[in-house]
């Protein structure tokens, strides 16, 4: 993972400063007694599986870190392991981390705050806390207008106050948000004391994108289709998901034209899932794609200028050609083998 992180940076993928964090439970259906049970929210039950910690760059929406070797006793500190990974790779600490209430403890929030890392998380709604909120006078609340104009609930009521938490030094900011489309209020916690409430609410809402990306990883990259519960196998599958996510994002950025935010499945359908003829000559390999509606975007991105040496093909050079040939290439004139692939 460290090597890939450095490599993808050289390929042109830049990293932001804000990250969305989440756990994902990868189901296991065998009888291995060492595999622990974890809670699966969408099934509302506990199930055997491998707990994976994922970090997504908020700007590029690329998975930049994964840990599939977590035990229950380690999951609260997974966020600190990510911070330890990030600083040597980039020379700086992450500036902002966004995560839900079950990811870590108040003591670890205190450690993040002492390191100067901004965070936004949620506080769990206990009956006692909800009772205190219900007794708060109406004059203490104020309305804010959210920055996203597409939201159905644009002007929620907010109670903005500083509170004390166990194992946390000093005050922490708590926003109590009502009339946001939920029956109970939402309770973000943050150490960002000066940012506007509307900005903090909008930023936490963006964290839901990592859940969408996890669903994309499950559906498209087959993240849940593990063939073994062995830790090395799980780590390998997670690493391949990180690599695929990064490569698809690099492709999207290079193509542009609105594809920068497209999901991997969309990119695959428009650009990757194509029929091509492969001609292997003495010195080069030519991949000739059939005519397709999206070929002009690949041409505009310069993919027709591809001319690179492939070490595991005896040093032969690779060229990509789009559309029907007007004349035979050198590889096709001295063809050794030719086949159609999809």
The number of distinct structural domains making up the chain is 2
Task: Tell me, yes or no, whether 28 and 4 share the same domain.
Answer: yes
Does residue 39 lie within any of the structural domains? yes
Q: Which of 223, 251, 270 is the last residue of a domain?
A: 270
The Cα–Cα gap between 47 and 30 comes to 11
Identify whether 234 is part of a domain.
Answer: yes
Residue 32: CA count within 13 A, CB half-sphere: 16
- pLDDT score, position 107: 94
End residue of a domain, out of 236, 270, 304: 270
Place of tokens 């929030």: 109
Asked whether residue 160 is assigned to any structural domain, the reply reads no
Residues forming beta bridges with residue 53, ordered by sequence position: 23, 67
User: Does residue 50 lie in a domain region?
Assistant: yes
Do 280 and 264 belong together in one domain? no
pLDDT per position as a tens digit, 211-263: 777 677 667 877 666 555 455 577 788 888 888 888 998 899 899 888 987 88
Q: Say if residue 256 is in the same domain as residue 281.
A: no
CA distance 308 to 301: 16
- pLDDT, residue 106, reads 94
Residues 261 and 286 reside in one and the same domain: no
CB 24 within 8 A of CB 223: yes
Per DSSP, 179 falls in state: S
Which parts of 207-316 are beta strand (E)? 276-280, 284-289, 307-309
Are the C-beta atoms of residues 316 and 306 closer than 8 Å to each other?
no
CA distance 332 to 22: 50
Is residue 176 a part of any domain in this protein?
no
- Same domain? 211 vs 295: no
Q: Determine the structural domain holding residue 315 and report its residue range.
A: 274-341
Q: What is the pLDDT of residue 317?
A: 94
One domain for residues 217 and 333: no
pLDDT of residue 80: 95
In this structure, the answer to whether residues 25 and 88 fall within a common structural domain is yes
pLDDT, position 115 = 95
Same domain membership, residue 95 and residue 1: yes
9 and 40 assigned to the same domain: yes
The residue among 222, 240, 270 that closes a domain is 270
Note the pLDDT of residue 154: 80
- Which pLDDT score, from 0 to 100, does residue 21 have? 92
**Model pLDDT for residues 63-91, shown as the tens digit of each residue:** 888 888 778 788 899 999 999 999 888 88
User: For position 41, what pLDDT does the model report?
Assistant: 61
In a domain, 162, yes or no: no
Residues 3, 84, single domain; the answer is: yes
Mean pLDDT, the chain cut into blocks of 10 residues (342 residues total): 84 86 76 64 66 85 83 88 91 92 91 95 89 89 78 82 92 90 87 91 79 71 60 74 87 89 87 90 91 91 91 91 61 52 54
| Cα atoms found within 13 Å of the Cα of residue 188, Cβ hemisphere only | 27
Side-chain-side CA neighbours of 114 within 13 Å: the count stands at 11
pLDDT of 112: 96
Evaluate whether residue 118 is within a structural domain: no
Q: Based on the fold, state whether residues 255 and 328 are members of the same structural domain.
A: no
CA distances from 241 to 46, 222, 225 (A): 25, 9, 12
Note whether residue 117 is domain-resident: no
88: part of which helix (H) or strand (E)?
Answer: helix 78-90
Q: Same structural domain for residues 2 and 90?
A: yes
Contact 53, 38 (CB under 8 A): no
User: How confident is the model at residue 327, as a pLDDT?
Assistant: 46
Reading the block at residue 40, the tokens are 């699966």
């Amino acid at each position: 993972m460290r090597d890939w992180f450095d490599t993808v940076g050289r390929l042109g993928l830049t990293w932001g400063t804000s990250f969305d964090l989440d756990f994902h439970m990868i189901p296991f259906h065998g009888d291995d007694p060492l595999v622990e049970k974890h809670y699966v929210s969408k099934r509302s039950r506990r199930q055997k599986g491998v707990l994976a910690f994922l970090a997504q760059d908020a700007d590029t929406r690329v998975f930049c870190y994964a840990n599939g070797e977590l035990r229950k006793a380690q999951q609260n500190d997974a966020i600190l392991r990510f911070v330890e990974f990030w600083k040597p790779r980039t020379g700086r600490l992450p500036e902002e981390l966004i995560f839900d209430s079950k990811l870590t403890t108040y003591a670890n929030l205190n450690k993040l705050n002492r390191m100067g890392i901004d965070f936004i998380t949620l506080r769990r709604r206990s009956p006692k806390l909800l009772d205190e909120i219900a007794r708060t006078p109406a004059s203490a609340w104020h309305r804010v207008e959210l920055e996203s104009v597409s939201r159905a609930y644009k002007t929620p009521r907010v109670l903005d106050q500083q509170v004390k938490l166990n194992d946390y030094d000093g005050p922490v900011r708590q926003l109590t948000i009502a009339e946001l489309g939920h029956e109970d209020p939402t309770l973000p916690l943050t150490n960002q004391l000066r940012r506007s409430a509307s900005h903090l609410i909008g930023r936490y809402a963006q964290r839901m994108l990592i859940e969408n990306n996890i669903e994309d990883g499950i559906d498209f990259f087959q993240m849940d289709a593990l063939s073994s519960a062995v830790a090395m196998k799980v780590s390998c599958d997670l690493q391949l998901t990180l690599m695929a996510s990064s490569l698809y994002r690099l492709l999207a950025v290079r193509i542009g034209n609105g594809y920068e935010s497209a999901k991997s499945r969309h990119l695959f359908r428009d650009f990757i899932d194509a029929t091509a003829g492969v001609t292997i000559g003495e010195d080069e390999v030519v991949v000739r794609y059939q005519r397709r509606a999206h070929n002009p975007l690949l041409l505009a991105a310069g993919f027709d200028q591809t001319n690179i040496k492939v070490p595991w093909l005896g040093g032969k050079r690779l060229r990509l050609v789009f559309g029907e040939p007007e004349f035979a290439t050198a590889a096709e004139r001295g063809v050794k083998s030719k086949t159609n692939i999809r």
